[in-house]
Amino acid sequence: MENNLRSDGRHSAQLRPVDFQLDFAPNASGSVLACFGDTRVICAASLEKGVPRWMLSQNVQGGWMSAEYSMLPYSTLGRKKRDINRGKQDGRSVEIQRLIGRSLRAVADLSKLPGYTLWVDCDVLQADGGTRTASITGAWLAAEIAIKRAIKAGRLQESPFVDSVAAISVGVLNDEALLDLCYVEDRDASVDANIVMTGGGRFVEAQAAGEEATFTHDQLQQLLKLAEGGIADLTARQQAILATI
């Protein structure tokens, strides 16, 4: 299977071209344009003084991390209506931004973020599959940059992050397990999954579903193995970027 080339010329276990452009949103505390092939997501982190009301009312100490996610109207082939014009937030967007927030908090000690909220806004410029996984991977990188700068400026004493986090999509198409699906692969896949892992190799979340199909234990293990390799690669890329700032 490894020798069978995909529609874009990749092998089954090969990532799309990945690039992180730093400081894409200069007014943010830290930002990157995360590019996975033709999928492009602006991930911008902002460190704000203050915490959610529920933390104050329940006397919860420390700080908070949260995320917002949206797809810009021109990110897809057909124009996508803005949520404000629909009168409510898209359910998929709510699901994804909660996943991004959970992923960040999974590798954070919030007691080291006293009195602050770290917001990460993920805005999809162009969607070609894997927008949620690109958002998570870029969100942590943007957040870590923001934290490093806050420490340097004396706003924080130490980083709340105890590990890194990244995510990738995997799936089964024509009985072949594939890493990092583009849109046409995701559309036609019989099984698709989104895997979130720490830099240390621990799972944060695994979302897998058969698209009107079922899958075997062996197929699931194969998908997880592909994801582990892809995330190890992304983790190395994240650290390489951080070494430049």
DSSP 105: H
Residue 6 within any structural domain of the chain: no
Residue 2 pLDDT level (bands cut at 50, 70, 90): very low
What is the average pLDDT across 236-245?
A: 94
Residue 84: pLDDT band by 50, 70, 90 thresholds?
A: low
- The rounded distance, in Å, linking the Cα atoms of 242 and 236 is 10
Residue ranges making up the domain that contains 204: 18-242
Pairing of strands 176-179, 165-173: antiparallel
Position 3 in a domain: no
Q: Residues of the chain with pLDDT > 70: what percent?
A: 96
CA dist., res. 127 & res. 76, Å (int)? 6
Calculate the CA dihedral of residues 222, 130, 78, 28 and round it to 10 degrees: 180
Average pLDDT of span 117-135? 97
94 found inside a domain = yes
Q: Are 179 and 227 in contact (CB under 8 A)?
A: yes
Residue 61 has pLDDT above 60, yes or no: yes
139 in a structural domain: yes
Q: What is the CATH number of the domain that holds 181?
A: 3.30.230.70
What gap in Å lies between CA 161 and CA 209, rounded to an integer?
30
Q: Is residue 13 part of a domain?
A: no
Give me the percent of the chain exceeding a pLDDT of 90: 85
Residue 8 covered by a domain: no
Cβ contacts of 222 within 8 Å, gap of 6 or more: 177
Tokens of 221: 């293990």
- pLDDT at residue number 1: 40
Task: Tell me if 4 is assigned to some domain.
Answer: no
What average pLDDT does range 60-65 have in this prediction? 96
Point out the least confidently predicted range of 23-37, 70-84, 125-139: 70-84
Residue appearing with tokens 């400026």: 153
Is residue 2 domain-resident? no
Which residue in the block uniquely carries the two structure tokens 């529609």? 7
Torsion of CA 148, 154, 158, 164, to 10 degrees: -20
CA-closest candidate to residue 169, choices 29, 37, 25, 22: 37
Q: What domain count does the chain have? A: 1
- Say if residue 140 is exposed, middle or buried (CB neighbours under 10 Å; 0-12, 13-18, 19+): buried
Residue 65 has pLDDT above 70, yes or no: yes
Give residue-wise pLDDT tens across range 196-215.
Answer: 999 999 999 999 999 778 99
